[in-house]
């Protein structure tokens, strides 16, 4: 393996044992080559295997086939390689926001005091000032999502997987969080893989967008988003953006239709 | 009333004139929101207690109540006072208190550890399950004669009773708490590179704590029952032994005097557990 890419997925696929005892192909085969420091979105019909893909990359679920390389080393089946934010915020309800954010560092064995000293400036800078000692239940959805994202960032991995992080937020909060995420990405120079069902969000945020087929999900299109950065929210009304979006949506709707027909056929 | 206010109110009247006349204000809000004054409640409770004692005393003296079986308050008080003077009250209460608390602590700790241990191996949990349930379904008080035979008539058998009666229910409660864990939380912590031990300490134990705390209150009552029944079967001391002994010799006022002591002990234990509970809730769950 060459080190030209930050991460490579080769032939990654997943088969689950169905309820009838027969294997069900849930994902793949997937090929991806992820360059360093990129913001990459993955969009696909629901149930096509996006979360499964992230579970595999993060080492929580075993691949049925294929391999994953990070920096030339085979990493499939290993946890702790990537920072992963699952679909829910998953803050520990009995811990304060500060204690939640340092969880990753704590697990690595860094003394709590040191971890807190590291986390506090980030909480201040990224809009959680005054909430450090609050409990998750006392925060709004947007704030909790911020905390979960900061926890992922604090767990200092070069590759970050974000599974529909803003899926449950209202439009205004979501727009705010997008800007916030772009700031974070800028500041920390991470490679981000981002799952969303919102095509506009995908294009606005990303350098590359992967569109997946319906189940079993494979890569249907790989779009390069050559919009200049930094991007302003108004960019979504530019002709170039609209063209990209229409193209992407057309591709996706074919797959959504197919997924729908698959389902109604049984 | 100022000019302005008058204008407003008359305009308001004009609007509502066309609509239904409002119902007279009921004072439901007062009923719903009213909180009785604590001192008034205490006075009321005490008064009720005195009235019941009075009725009992009068009933016994007039022959309406058979005082051979039911004794009467003045007689009970006299018996109790003798106990206080001889020190028997303290000795017996302390004895029962001690065996209850030790049985409670051992049973609760043992059950908690056992319940938590099931998280480590599904295989081991599955194998143990029917045995735990079988033991839970069995009326443990029925074991008392065997336990007293095995552990003797000393404090050991009372502790063993408290343990036997609390350990299984605690195990089940804790294990249910463990199983209620959010699988995604566990995945999240693993995704941060955690070991099983770290997942256990940072997710499983905190998840099970509320269940464990809720077991405390139930356990203290059970442990007390266990200790008393143990004392019935065979003991040289304790409130249960006194009650049993008094029953055998038809000293009804002695029975009542010791039931009174038992009630005081039981209340004391519940107060202590309440304190412990709120301490734990504050410490672990950050609730008041
Ligand atoms: N543990 C599992 N066992 C069996 N099937 C699963 C399991 N996890 C996911 N699946 C199936 O795999 C498919 C992909 O799921 P998922 O990755 O959650 O999709 P997405 O995130 O794209 O909506 C779904 O059809 C789902 O039912
Ligand atoms: Mg998903």
Question: What's the pLDDT tens digit per position in B191-210?
Answer: 998 999 999 999 999 999 88
Instruction: Give the pLDDT score at A88.
Output: 86
Considering the domain architecture, whether residues B53 and B99 belong to the same structural domain is answered as no
Check: CB of residue B135 under 8 Å from CB of residue B171. no
CB of residue A48 inside a 6 A radius of ligand 1: yes
Return mean pLDDT, chain B: 88
Tell whether B29 and B164 lie within a shared domain.
no
B29 and B124 belong to one structural domain: no
B27 Cβ contact partners less than 8 Å away, ≥ 6 residues apart: none
Contact assignment for A94 to B206 by CB distance below 8 Å: yes
Kindly give the residue spans of alpha helices, DSSP state H, lying in chain A: 50-57, 97-101, 103-107, 112-125, 141-154, 171-188, 199-205, 239-265
pLDDT of residue B282: 81
**pLDDT averaged over consecutive 10-residue blocks of chain A (266 residues)?**
77 89 88 94 91 93 91 88 89 94 94 93 88 92 89 90 88 88 89 93 95 90 90 91 92 83 72
Measured from the alpha carbon of residue A28, the closest ligand is 1
State yes or no: pLDDT of B279 exceeds 50: yes
Task: Tell me which residue of A166, A163, A178 sits closest to A44, measured CA to CA.
Answer: A163
B175 and B256 inside one domain: yes
Residues A200, A245 contacting (CB under 8 angstroms): yes
Confidence class for position B2, pLDDT limits 50, 70, 90: very low
Q: Is B110 on the interface with A (CB under 8 A)?
A: no
Tokens 């909790």, located at residue: A144
Average pLDDT over residues B251-275: 94
B285 touches chain A (CB under 8 A): yes
Residue B9 pLDDT level (bands cut at 50, 70, 90) = very low
Report the predicted TM-score, pTM, of the whole model to 2 decimal places: 0.81
- Residue A22: predicted pLDDT: 86
C-alpha to C-alpha distances, A119 to A44, A112, A130, A151, nearest whole angstrom: 34, 10, 13, 9
CB–CB contact B192 A90 (8 Å): no
Through-space distance between the first and last CA atoms of chain A, rounded to whole angstroms: 42
Nearest Cβ partner for A103 among B192, B284, B286: B192
Residues B28 and B126 in one domain: no
C-beta separation of A169 from A142 below 8 A: yes
Residue B131 sits in the same domain as residue B147:
yes
Residues 6 or more apart whose Cβ sits within 8 Å of residue B216:
B108, B273, B276, B277, B280
Among A178, A208, A168, A203, residue whose Cα is nearest residue A191? A208
What was the pLDDT predicted at B14? 46
State ipTM.
0.86
One domain, residues B21 and B137: no
Binary contact (A79, B189; C-beta < 8 A) = no
Please report, for residues A43, A219, B160, B257, the alpha-carbon distance to residue A222 in angstroms, rounded to integers and kept in the order given: 10, 7, 70, 86
What is the spatial distance between Cα A190 and Cα A40, in angstroms, rounded to a whole number?
11
Q: Are the C-beta atoms of residues A20 and A6 closer than 8 Å to each other?
A: no
Cβ–Cβ gap B192/A155 under 8 Å: yes
Q: Cis bond leading into A230, ω under 30°? A: yes
User: Are residues B245 and B221 part of one domain?
Assistant: yes
3-state helix, strand and coil shares in percent for chain A, rounded to the nearest 5: 40, 25, 35
Question: CB B3: neighbour CB atoms within 10 A?
Answer: 7
- Structure token pair of residue B62: 């007039």
Task: Judge contact between A9 and A30, C-beta under 8 A.
Answer: yes
The ligand placed nearest to the CA atom of residue A86 is 2
> Given the DSSP bridges, would you call strands A159-163 and A191-195 parallel, antiparallel or unpaired?
parallel
In the structure encoding, which two tokens stand for residue A168, read together?
């449950």
Is 60 exceeded by the pLDDT of residue B223? yes
Q: How far is CA B52 from the centre of its chain?
A: 25
- Domain CATH code at residue B113: 1.10.3720.10
Per-residue pLDDT of B62-91, as tens digits, reads: 989 898 888 999 999 999 999 999 999 999
Contact B53, B61 (CB under 8 A): no
Q: Is the CB of A49 under 6 A from ligand 1?
A: yes
Domain count, chain B: 3
Residue holding tokens 């969080």? A177
Interface A:B, Cβ pairs < 8 A: 48
pLDDT digit string, tens, across residues B136-156: 899 989 999 999 999 999 999
Domain range for B44: 40-70
Chain B, 170-209: which have a CB under 8 Å from a chain A CB? 182, 184-185, 187-194, 198, 202-203, 206, 209
Let me know whether B192 and B79 are in one domain: yes
Q: Is there a contact between B202 and A80 if contact means CB atoms under 8 Å apart?
A: no
Q: Which residue has the least CA distance to atom 17 on ligand 1? A: A49
Using an 8 Å CB-CB cutoff, list chain A residues near B209. 94
Let me know whether B148 and B276 are in one domain: yes
Question: Cβ-count burial of A15 within 10 angstroms (0-12 exposed, 13-18 middle, 19+ buried)?
Answer: middle
Residues B82, B212 within the same domain: yes
Q: What's phi and psi for A41, nearest 5 deg? A: -105, 150
Note the pLDDT of residue A1.
44
Q: Is ligand 1 within 6 A of the CB of residue A51? A: yes
Indicate whether B116 and B52 sit together in one domain.
Answer: no
- For A153, nearest residue in chain B (alpha carbons): B192
Alpha-carbon distance of A78 to A57, in angstroms, equals 8
């Amino acid at each position: 393996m060459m080190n030209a890419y930050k991460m490579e997925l080769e032939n990654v696929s997943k088969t689950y044992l169905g309820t009838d005892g027969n294997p069900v192909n849930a994902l793949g085969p997937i090929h991806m080559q992820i360059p360093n420091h990129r913001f990459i979105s993955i969009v696909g019909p629901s149930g096509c295997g996006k979360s499964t893909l992230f579970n595999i990359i993060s080492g929580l679920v075993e691949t049925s086939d294929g391999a994953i390389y990070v920096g030339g080393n085979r990493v499939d089946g290993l946890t702790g390689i990537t920072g992963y934010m699952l679909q829910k915020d998953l803050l520990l309800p009995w811990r304060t926001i500060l204690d939640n954010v340092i969880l990753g560092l704590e697990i690595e064995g860094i003394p709590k005091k040191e971890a807190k000293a590291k986390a506090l400036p980030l909480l201040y800078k990224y809009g959680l000032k005054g909430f450090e000692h609050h409990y998750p239940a006392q925060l709004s959805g947007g704030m909790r999502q911020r905390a979960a994202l900061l926890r992922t960032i604090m767990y200092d991995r070069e590759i970050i997987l974000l599974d529909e992080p803003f899926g449950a937020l209202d439009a205004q909060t979501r727009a705010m969080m997008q800007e916030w995420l772009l700031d974070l990405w800028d500041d920390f120079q991470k490679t981000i893989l981002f799952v969303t069902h919102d095509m506009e969000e995908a294009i606005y945020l990303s350098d590359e967008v992967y569109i997946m087929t319906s189940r079993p999900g494979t890569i249907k299109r790989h779009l390069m988003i050559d919009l200049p950065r930094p991007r302003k929210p108004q960019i979504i009304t530019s002709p170039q953006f609209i063209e990209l979006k229409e193209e992407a949506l057309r591709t996706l709707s074919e797959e959504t239709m197919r997924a729908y027909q698959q389902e109604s056929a049984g | 009333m100022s000019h302005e206010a008058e204008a407003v109110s008359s305009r308001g009247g004009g609007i509502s004139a066309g609509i239904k006349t409002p119902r007279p204000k009921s004072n439901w809000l007062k009923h719903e929101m009213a909180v009785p004054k604590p001192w008034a409640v205490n006075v009321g409770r005490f008064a009720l207690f005195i009235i019941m004692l009075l009725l009992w005393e009068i009933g016994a003296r007039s022959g309406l109540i058979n005082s051979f079986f039911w004794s009467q308050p003045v007689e009970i008080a006299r018996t109790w006072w003798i106990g206080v003077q001889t020190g028997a009250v303290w000795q017996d209460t302390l004895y029962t208190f001690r065996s209850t608390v030790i049985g409670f602590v051992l049973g609760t700790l043992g059950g908690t550890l056992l319940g938590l241990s099931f998280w480590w191996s599904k295989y081991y949990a599955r194998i143990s399950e029917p045995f735990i349930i079988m033991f839970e379904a069995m009326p443990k008080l029925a074991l008392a004669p065997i336990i007293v035979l095995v552990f003797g008539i000393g404090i050991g058998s009372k502790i063993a009773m408290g343990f036997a009666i609390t350990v299984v229910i605690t195990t089940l409660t804790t294990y249910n708490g463990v199983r209620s864990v959010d699988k995604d939380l566990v995945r999240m912590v693993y995704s941060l590179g955690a070991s099983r031990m770290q997942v256990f300490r940072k997710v499983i134990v905190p998840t099970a704590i509320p269940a464990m705390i809720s077991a405390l209150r139930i356990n203290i009552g059970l442990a007390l029952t266990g200790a008393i029944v143990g004392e019935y079967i065979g003991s040289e001391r304790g409130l249960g032994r006194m009650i049993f002994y008094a029953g055998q010799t038809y000293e009804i006022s002695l029975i009542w005097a010791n039931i009174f002591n038992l009630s005081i002990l039981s209340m004391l234990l519940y107060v202590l557990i309440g304190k412990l509970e709120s301490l734990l809730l504050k410490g672990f769950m950050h609730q008041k």
